[in-house]
Amino acid sequence: AQSVTQLDSQVPVFEEAPVELRCNYSSSVSVYLFWYVQYPNQGLQLLLKYLSGSTLVKGINGFEAEFNKSQTSFHLRKPSVHISDTAEYFCAVSRQGGKLIFGQGTELSVKP
């Protein structure tokens, strides 16, 4: 069975500062990895995904994530955040096209 742990429930950060949202996963088989963003009272929007190949994945809105197989991690980063990045971020895994297993979410709060 797969599981996902997001290590921080809340991350406050000042505008234009860098941010890292941490995600660890466990699985006995190969998985696909995803980061989704959710704005208040909305559905989830895909930020980026790792399927195979290069371990550094670039997504929308300036976000990137690095897959680390030995650490079983998939941390999300952005070098300079904006107020508009304030949202809930979810890390998720799936077994090659199956259901998504989500972490508990990290609330990113960007302050001016």
The contact set with other proteins (CB under 8 A) reads: 4, 32, 34, 36, 41-46, 49, 51, 90, 92, 94-100, 102-105
User: By C-beta, is 36 or 67 nearer to other proteins?
Assistant: 36
Distances (CA, A) of 31 to 39, 42, 50, 87: 26, 26, 9, 25
Residue 15 vs 49, nearer CB to other proteins: 49
Pair 38, 48: CB distance under 8 Å? no
Gyration radius of the chain's alpha carbons:
13
Q: Output the smallest distance, CB 2 to other proteins, in A.
A: 12
Nearest residue (CB) to other proteins, 58 versus 99 = 99
User: Do 20 and 81 meet the contact criterion of CB atoms below 8 Å apart?
Assistant: no
Q: Nearest distance from residue 53's CB to other proteins, in Å?
A: 12
Q: How far apart are CA 87 and CA 107, in angstroms?
A: 6
Q: Least distance from C-beta 15 to other proteins, angstroms?
A: 25
Q: Look at residue 83 and give its three-state secondary structure.
A: helix
For other proteins, give the closer residue by CB, 17 or 46: 46
Shortest distance, CB of residue 13 to other proteins, whole angstroms?
Answer: 20
